[in-house]
Amino acid sequence: QVQLQESGPGLVKPSETLSLSCTVSGDSVNSGSYYWSWVRQPPGKGLEWIGNIHYTGRINYNPSLKSRVTMSVDTSKNQFSLNLSSVTAADTALYFCARANYFYYYMDVWGKGTTVTVSS
C-alpha cells in the first residue's frame, strides 16, 4: 500500500522560505510511472495545485507560483521536497503531497497534509 507523509515546520516567518518534504513508502520516487505533486488548501478555501516533479528532473509549476517555487527529488531517501520562498500570510495553508499519473497528471494517492502558518 502506497503512503505519503508530509513533514516540515508548522510555522514560518514572513519573507522566509517554506520547506516541506514528503516521504514515500510502498513505492519508489524513481518509478518512472509517476510524477510527485504538491497541492495546498488555504483555510476554508479550495485546492490549489503547486506543481509536480518527475525523478528525471521534468518539472511543472503553477504559473502563479513559479517564481517562488522549487521542487526536488531525493531518491536515496525516497522523498521529494517543496521550497516556497518569500512567503506571506497568503501562503498559510494545509499542504498536501500526492502521487500523480505520468501521462495525465491526476493525483491518485495523497498524504494526510501538513498545516503551515506564516506569521511573525
The residues binding another protein (CB under 8 A) are 37, 39, 46-49, 51-52, 60-63, 96, 100-101, 104-108, 110-113
Q: Is 95 exposed, middle or buried (0-12, 13-18, 19+ CB in 10 A)?
A: buried
CA distances from 96 to 42, 50, 120 (A): 11, 10, 23
In this complex, which beta carbon is closest to another protein, that of residue 31 or of residue 60? Answer: 60
CA 47-110-48 angle, 5° bins? 15
State the number of CA atoms in the 13 A half-sphere of 114 facing the CB. Answer: 20
In this complex, which beta carbon is closest to another protein, that of residue 1 or of residue 120? Answer: 1
d(CA 69, CA 61): 7
Query: Could you tell me the smallest distance in angstroms from the CB atom of residue 114 to another protein?
Result: 11
Query: Could you tell me the smallest distance in angstroms from the CB atom of residue 57 to another protein?
Result: 16
In this complex, which beta carbon is closest to another protein, that of residue 76 or of residue 104? Answer: 104
In this complex, which beta carbon is closest to another protein, that of residue 60 or of residue 78? Answer: 60
Query: Could you tell me the smallest distance in angstroms from the CB atom of residue 6 to another protein?
Result: 10
